[in-house]
Amino acid sequence: MRKKIIAGNWKMNLTGAAATDLIEAIKREVADVDKVEVVVCPPFTELKAAAAACAGSNVMLGAQNVHWESAGAFTGEISAAMLQAAGVKYVIIGHSERRQYFGETDETVNKRLKAALAAGLIPIVCVGETLEERDAGRMEDVVVRQTKTGLADIGAELSKVVIAYEPVWAIGTGRTATPAQAQEVHALIRRTLAEMSDGDVANGIQIQYGGSMKPDNAKELLSQPDIDGGLIGGAALKAESFAAIVKAGV
């Protein structure tokens, strides 16, 4: 039985007291939840304070990106060792916004993934098709390619990876992915993982849904057989809505 995992991606939001206050409020809301892994991913500048706020609780700390090199002349980047030192356990890799705005590719996703695994971090690797790709009937090709290329050459460590399916076409476009549509792609990802390893490994990998999961649709989405959690954006910035999604996974 795969444990549900709900991760809040704060993106470029919250600083100082507002960030730690949100974690404290989330801790209170989910203190009695033990059947769901709860993760918060604040901006880099808040990681140290967030680690202190999360300490001793059931809320784990994640980061929003990681570079593939351990050190060097990479202005604006952050290494796996730096994340480790800040108390990070999880790291998001290949988010659709990184692909869209910052030139992320399947190949750089793979390099970042390997660096995260080497440092003992748990990667949350994002895959998903755009509106244009879905309308062109390319969903399967895109998702399979991103999964196979992004997760290439990691061997047995595949079992340590979390996948997040982001239907980019359903985020901010006015179009909504139904639970059935989300389940279809999650099942496709799991079949692809089985081709890359074996059924036992694939059946143990958590696959999150990252397409605007909210308190009012979380229960139905999380009841689908291959949806093991959520990568939450806007709803993660309020303790009440984020906790409601967490509790939907119990």
What's the pLDDT tens digit per position in 74-115?
999 999 999 999 999 999 999 999 999 999 999 999 999 999
pTM (2 d.p.): 0.97
| pLDDT for res 172 | 72
What pLDDT is attached to residue 171? 81
Per-residue pLDDT at 186: 98
The dihedral built from the CA positions of residue 50, 89, 205 and 92, taken in this order, carries a sign that is: positive
User: Are the C-beta atoms of residues 99 and 139 closer than 8 Å to each other?
Assistant: no
Scan for tokens 């916004």, then name that residue: 97
The region, left, alpha or beta by phi > 0 then psi within -120 to 50, assigned to residue 219 is alpha
Q: Give yes or no: 166 in active site.
A: yes
- Quote the radius of gyration of the chain (alpha carbons, Å): 17
pLDDT given at position 177 = 86
Structure tokens belonging to residue 233: 């954006």
What pLDDT is recorded for position 222?
Answer: 97
pLDDT at 170: 84
Predicted local distance difference test score (pLDDT) of residue 228: 98
State residue 1's pLDDT score: 82
For residue 163, give Cα distances in angstroms to 81, 115, 134, 150: 22, 16, 19, 11
User: Number of folded domains in the chain?
Assistant: 1
Encode pLDDT of 17-35 as tens digits.
999 999 999 999 999 999 9
- Where does residue 14 fall: left (phi above 0), alpha (psi -120 to 50 degrees), or beta otherwise? left
From the first residue on, what is the mean pLDDT of each consecutive set of 10 residues in the chain (250 residues)? 96 97 98 97 98 98 98 98 98 96 97 98 97 95 98 97 94 81 97 93 97 93 97 96 97
CB 29 within 8 A of CB 62: no
Query: For the purposes of burial, counting CB atoms within 10 Å of the CB of 39, is it exposed (0-12), middle (13-18) or buried (19 or more)?
Result: buried
Q: pLDDT at position 176, please? A: 74
**Domain at 88, CATH number:** 3.20.20.70
**Within the chain, what is the greatest distance between any pair of CA atoms?**
48
For residue 134, give its domain range: 4-248
For residue 14, give both structure tokens.
Answer: 């919250």
Catalytic residue (one of 37, 95, 104, 129)? 95
Alpha-carbon gap, residue 113 to 4, rounded angstroms: 21
Question: What is the phi/psi pair of residue 208, to 5°?
Answer: -90, 160
Which one is catalytic: 67, 104, 166, 186? 166
